[in-house]
Amino acid sequence: MLAAGGCRASVASSLEGEIVGAGHRLGHLLREPGRLPPPSGAERVAVAIVGGGVAGLSAAWQLARAGVRDLVVLELEDTPGGNARSSVSAVTGYPWGAHYLPLPGQAAHGVRTLLREVGVIEGVDRAGRPVYDERHLCHAPQERLFLLGRWHEGLFPAPGAGAEDRAQLERFRQEMDGYRRWRDGAGRRAFAVPRAAGAPGAFAELDRVSMADFLTARGYTSPRLRWWVEYGCRDDFGSDLAHTSAWAGVHYHAARDADPEYGDVVLTWPEGNGWLTRRLAEPVADRVRLGQLVVNVEPVAGGVAVDAYDARAERTRRIVAREVVLACPVFVAARLYRPWRERPPAFAAAFRYAPWLVANLHLDRAPTGAGGAPLAWDNVLYDSPALGYVVATHQSLRSHPGPTVLTYYRSYPGPDPAATRRALLDASWATLRDGVLRDLARPHPELAREVRRLDVMRYGHAMVRPEVGFVCGAARAAAAAALSGPVHLAHGDLSGFSLFEEAFEWGTRTAARICARLPRLT
């Protein structure tokens, strides 16, 4: 590391900040349920949704659309959204997690319906393709990469690349095109978004090797190409090449087609996907309860009991619902669903999670420093363990750039997520702050003095890791089939990787199933 700046002495003395998100502290109470007060009361609802992330909010949104109003969403954190949470300051909204959505393909009709309803899709053109409201498309310039002391347009490390690097990149793209174009007899893709729209079992053998071995076996030795492919894995899955199933690695490149009109541009908002989760939550805004730690879900006479500890009231309340959606990660569901708590299901251990760190930096103006390509939406550092930063004000229509917020992302790939998780959750704000500033000091030597505020969010279990053997394996299938009502499991985990479209699919599909089970409600 060339770290020079960012040492404590150079940090502006006025730099404020804190660790935000109390969820994991509250969540750890789950390990000692005896310390919590016993449940009281017995509120009755038709549907209780445990978890206010994308899956839970999508389920609630879909139920509300179907006319089911008698529902409640229980969320641990102070803001809904899960991995698509966001905040807002005097400057702008800014994300605490997922911050973009690729243009949905034809298979993702649910997501297209959502986008149509919230005005992101304005209509269809003569060929029947969606027409987008340009304001939601990521504005140019979209990406830049800091490499060899300068910023370069785009994400592939082209500067300094040799003929061999370029030839391997071209060959890799062609190979991924092959996977992209593959169709089974019924016209289904091998790699689809949502996953459920793909041909079952297609190329399942890729799940038996890591992406690293996949690349090596095919002669992809270029360090630049491997960096670029690994960057995608770290960014989407939180895992490195060695710990990513080749099936997931290929899915990243082969599951989406470039739009004939818009290319591979994405949809984004200042607050990232928080914009979408806010829209999802709108129809059920009065039904979302925050700061609720669900400690127990169990079938009882006349329904399913959901016991939620309210940290502010220091009380545990019981809700008895006719249907319950466990819209939480599988490792959480395994702890709070009583039958699973008493006899842990075999699939639970296969779900392993990547820790993440997200930092939001408030600045009076765009950061200064290295020359080259101008500030883009996504700004990536080649020699960095982190993923770089996005600019929350990028979508602003103002012609003069003012104060801004940079959202810095770091996933922790590698062999031992549990150890990294412990270290991350033990670290102080000052340690995390210094790590962020040190990393960003290379392109922006003055940044430590320019930052006004730096907040960090730590995710112990940010997303399930699509490890070798897991993505197409038995454990995932078993989890997906484990519950069929009145308790349901709905979460992106069940797809094997964390994507908005997958969580949305599980949430809305579960809502449809509940509507079918409760016909009189709708």
Residues interacting with another protein, by CB under 8 A? Answer: 134-135, 137-142, 262, 265, 374, 397-401
Q: How far is the CB of 16 from another protein (least distance, A)?
A: 24
Residue (137 or 432) nearer to another protein, CB:
137
Q: What DSSP state is assigned to residue 198?
A: S
Our CB check for another protein shows the closer of 136 and 491 to be: 136
**How many CB atoms are closer than 10 A to CB 336?**
22
Between 26 and 375, name the residue whose CB sits nearer to another protein.
375
Smallest distance from the beta carbon of 338 to another protein, in angstroms?
A: 50
Query: What is the pairing mode between strands 487-489 and 451-464?
Result: unpaired
Q: Taking the complex as a whole, how short is the minimal distance between the CB of residue 266 and another protein, in angstroms? A: 9
Token pair 């830049």 in the structure block, residue? 144
The nearest distance, CB 245 to another protein, in angstroms, is: 32
How distant, in Å, are the alpha carbons of 149, 151, 175, 468 from that of 225? Answer: 20, 18, 14, 21
Reduced to 3 states (helix: H, G, I; strand: E, B; else coil), residue 434 is: helix
- The answer to whether 483 touches 90, Cβ cutoff 8 Å, is no
Rounded Cα distance, 74 and 24, in Å:
16
Q: Give the contacts of 492 (CB within 8 A, at least 6 positions apart).
A: 54, 55, 463, 464, 498, 499, 502, 503, 506
Phi-psi region of 414 (alpha: psi -120 to 50; beta: other; left: phi over 0): left
The nearer residue to another protein, 35 or 400, going by C-beta atoms, is 400
Rounded CA separation 296/386 (Å) = 37
Nearest to residue 260, comparing CAs of 83, 129, 360, 88? Answer: 129
Rounded CA gap, 424 and 241, in Å?
A: 22
Which amino acid, 239? S
Minimum distance from residue 374 beta carbon to another protein (Å):
7
Structure tokens at 85: 């949470």
**How far apart (Å, rounded) are the C-alpha atoms in residues 406 and 390?**
6
Residue 301 or residue 397: which is nearer to another protein going by CB?
A: 397
Please report how close the Cβ of residue 267 comes to another protein at its closest, in angstroms.
Answer: 10
- In the complex with another protein, the residue whose CB is nearer, 65 or 139, is 139
Q: Identify which of residues 35 and 398 has a Cβ nearer to another protein in the complex.
A: 398
| Shortest distance, position 139 Cβ to another protein, whole Å | 5
Least distance from another protein to the Cβ atom of residue 132, Å: 9
> Smaller CB distance to another protein: residue 134 or 170?
134
CB-wise, 16 or 125, nearer to another protein? 125
CB of 364 to another protein, least distance (A): 11
Label the pairing between strands 40-50 and 315-326: parallel
Helices 109-117 and 500-517 pack at an angle, to 10 degrees, of 90
Q: Which residue type, as a one-letter code, is found at position 437?
A: L
